[in-house]
Amino acid sequence: MGRGHMARRNTNRRVGIADVADKAGVSHATVSRVMNGNAAVDPGIAARVRAAAAELKYQPNPVGRSLALGKTDTIGIVVPDLANPTFQAILRGLSIAAAQDGYRVLIADSSEVTSEEAILAGEARRRCDGVVLCAPRMSDAELEELAPTLHPLVLINRTTVATNTPSLSVDYGQGIQELAQHLVSLGHQRLAFLSGPEHSASNRQRLAGLDQFRTGHPDIELQMLDGGSNFDSGHESTEAIIASGATGILAFNDLVAMGLLSGLHERGVRVPEDISVTGFDDIPFAKYTTPPLTTAAVPINELGSLAWRRMREQIQQAGESATQAQDEFPPRVEIRKSTAAPALKPAS
């Protein structure tokens, strides 16, 4: 009877701890002990167990372990759009850093659907030991309500009043001002900002930065144009940009700038001779555009690995809700070839 049961299990199921125990002639508790090196086990028995495990190619079932240990060795990340190189870079940095500590990452793409974010984050949290929320589009109120339920949580490009949530953010307001300053110092008098997604917090920061810039430079014309966050929206804005008469264009990000570059090229508008264009983010492609893109570099590759470090800190000091660092990174203006002094106008 018992044998029959065992036989069925052996053929049907994966090899489990019980099979190893049987083969080694010990209890499964002992197998667990030697596999984890937790308690002292007689060397002879340990060797027997290890031999049995090796012969059966036993690998502990992670689900069983997770249930017993109350941890999954997995963290979740939710991003608004996996097609965006910035988020791809963060995901990559996070994944590699986490892997080094034996953690995996589960990924959730909200596809810019704001209402899905909280749900995805909650699901991810339940499956994982923590979650990093990347540039969430949800409202401040919703974020404040959600954050405590997600702990351990790392925020990227958003902050919380809850001091026990570390956040990593880029000072977009500062960066866009520096880019505008760069254009002005080249001699541009008419600027235009091609803005990003409405619900993007980083777009609001850029807007705020430009407001500040305006007050410091009342003489400079600065138009605001609606745009998006990808190639196509940059490309589609070509006409509007040309019509604006601006000579210095601040694109929402590198993707938009690249789309614009392409559109301008098609229309025969020369960059930077006729129009200067700046991006934002310094994605890997930025220095390979023609002309190479002047942009504000954010530490895109470190963001992911730093996010992991902050997550690990929280996981290790389990329970204690110490106040966490809220890092803010200043972008670094990267001057390339897409910006230059404007052509001298016949009549100034």
Partner DNA sequence: GAATCATGAGAAAGCGTTTTCTCAGAGCGT
Partner DNA sequence: ACGCTCTGAGAAAACGCTTTCTCATGATTC
Residues of this chain that interact with DNA (CB under 7 A) are 9, 13-14, 16-18, 25-33, 35-36, 38-42, 45, 58-61, 63-65, 67-70
Q: Which does 26 bind (CB under 5 to 8 A by kind): its own copies, DNA, none?
A: DNA
- The smaller minimum CB distance to DNA, of residues 33 and 206, is found at 33
Q: Which residues contact 36 (CB under 8 A, 6 or more apart)?
A: none
Sheet holding 276-278, edge to edge: 221-225, 190-194, 248-251, 276-278
Quick one: 64 or 284, whose CB is closer to DNA? 64
Supply the minimum distance, in Å, between the C-beta of residue 325 and its own copies. Answer: 26
3-state secondary structure of 334: strand
Task: Decide whether 10 or 189 has the Cβ nearer to DNA.
Answer: 10
Least distance in Å: CB of 64 to DNA? Answer: 3
The set of residues, in sequence order, having a beta carbon less than 8 Å from that of 64 and lying 6+ positions away, is none
Q: Which does 41 bind (CB under 5 to 8 A by kind): DNA, its own copies, none?
A: DNA
Question: What mask of x and - would describe binding to its own copies in positions 41 to 80, judged by CB under 8 A?
Answer: ------------------x-xxxx-xx----x-x------
Contact partner at residue 29 from DNA, its own copies, none, CB < 5 to 8 Å by partner kind:
DNA
Residue of the chain from 15, 18, 48, 88 that contacts its own copies (CB under 8 A): 88
User: Is 271:261 a contact under the CB 8 Å cutoff?
Assistant: yes
Interaction partner, residue 265 (DNA, its own copies, none; CB < 5-8 Å by kind): its own copies
Q: Which residues contact 50 (CB under 8 A, 6 or more apart)?
A: 34
Residue 220: CA atoms inside 13 Å, Cβ hemisphere, count?
29
At 301, phi and psi to the nearest 5?
A: -80, -25
Question: Out of DNA, its own copies, none, which partner does residue 338 contact, by CB within 5 to 8 A per kind?
Answer: none
Structure tokens at 326: 């809220």
Minimum CB distance to DNA, residue 102 (Å): 14
Whose Cβ is closer to DNA: residue 66's or residue 326's?
66
- Which pair of tokens denotes residue 168? 């990593």
Give yes or no for residue 127 binding its own copies (CB under 8 A): yes
Q: How far is the CB of 125 from DNA (least distance, A)?
A: 13
Residue 148 corresponds to which tokens in the numbers above?
């405590």
> 3-state DSSP call for residue 251?
strand
* CA atoms 129, 309, 133, 153: torsion sign: positive
